[in-house]
Amino acid sequence: MEQLKDRILLPTAAEIAKERAFVVAKINEIGEKRLREGILAAVDVRKKAYPPYSGYMVGATVICKSGDSYSSCNAEAASYSGTDHAEKSAITKAISSGEIQKSGEEFIEAVIVSHLGASGPCGECRKRIAEHCQNALVLDVDGDGNIQAVTSLKALFFYGFTPSHVRK
C-alpha cells in the first residue's frame, strides 16, 4: 500500500499557481468585450437546443485565435450516443468555417458553456477541446449569462491524453 501512496498524482501548488496565472493572463488577452460577446452568444444559442429526452439545454461558444467565435447548442438523439454536444458542435462549426486554415490546428483560445447547474464540459468535450489547443480559458455560465466558474482546460483535464501523446 505504501507504493500506491507514493504514486498519488495531483497537481502541485506550483502547477495550480501556474494555471491561475494562465487564466488571469488569458482573460486580459481576450478582453472583457470579446468574453461578454461570447457569453451572450452561448446564452442565446442555448435557447435553440434540442433536448427532447433529457430537457438539458446547453449552449457553447468557442473563441478562436483568429478573433472569430463560433456558437452551437446540444441536439439530442434517441440513441443518446448520437447526441451532438454543444462544445463539440461549436468546434466542428469553427473547423468547417476554416479556422484550421486561419489559425492552425490549435485554434481555440476560450470555451464558454451556458447551462443550468454548475459543471464543466463533459469528458468527451474536454477531449475534443484538447484536440485544438494546449490550454484554453473555460467559462461556465448559467442560462442568464451569470458567471459560475472560470478555469482552464488543464485544470479540468489534468493528466489528460492529448494529441501530443500520439503525434510523431
Instruction: Give phi and psi for 60, each to the nearest 5.
Output: -140, 145
Active site members: 87
29-79 pLDDT per residue, tens: 999 999 999 999 999 999 999 999 999 999 999 999 999 999 999 999 999
The architecture CATH gives domain 13-155:
3-Layer(aba) Sandwich (3.40)
67-122 pLDDT per residue, tens: 999 999 999 999 988 999 999 999 999 999 999 999 999 999 999 999 998 889 99
Predicted local confidence at residue 164, as pLDDT: 84
pTM (two decimals): 0.94
Q: E-assigned strands of the chain?
A: 59-64, 69-73, 108-114, 137-141, 147-152
165 pLDDT band, cuts 50/70/90, is: confident
Give, for 20, the enclosing helix (H) or strand (E).
helix 13-30
Predicted local confidence at residue 168, as pLDDT: 67
Q: What is the CA radius of gyration of the chain?
A: 16
Q: Which residue has the higher pLDDT, 61 or 158?
A: 61
For residue 120, give the nearest of 91, 155, 82 by alpha carbon: 155
For residue 153, give the nearest of 129, 119, 132, 131 by alpha carbon: 129
Share above pLDDT 70 across residues of the chain, in percent, rounded to a whole number: 99
Predicted local confidence at residue 57, as pLDDT: 97
For residue 142, give the nearest of 119, 108, 167 by alpha carbon: 119
118 to 7, 27, 35, 87: CA distances (angstroms): 30, 20, 19, 16
* Domain residue limits, the chain: 13-155
